[in-house]
Amino acid sequence: MISLKPDSANYNYRKGYIAVNSHKETGAPFNVYYDLSKFYHINDDLDKAREFYNLFLANSNNNSVNIASSQIGLKQCDVAEREFKNS
């Protein structure tokens, strides 16, 4: 359907939803873990963000450009959790 109506917000939403919720696919590249970690982080689901940051770090190529960002993301989750507890 998206090929018939590529500008359809509804179809694009559904395509994105499926992509985000299909992380159990065994052939998915490890970078999807990084993308999911950012998604959960932005939505304040810090436990899931940590889970996927750690999955990415454990499975990624040591030369990945997203390693430093993932390490920073983990630290940001710790800070955010402390701030949420203190507010």
The pTM for the full model equals 0.67
Tell me the average pLDDT of the chain. Answer: 83
Percent of residues, the chain, with pLDDT higher than 90:
52
- Vertex 74 angle, CA 63 and 25, to 5°: 65
Take residue 46 and report the two structure tokens written for it.
């810090």
* pLDDT of the residue at 48: 96
Asked if residue 33 lies in contact with residue 23, where contact means CB atoms within 8 angstroms, the answer is yes
Find the mean pLDDT for residues 43-71: 93
* Residue 12 reports pLDDT greater than 70: no
Please measure the distance between the N-terminal and C-terminal CA atoms of the chain and give it in whole angstroms. Answer: 46
**Of residues 29 and 45, which shows the higher confidence score?**
45
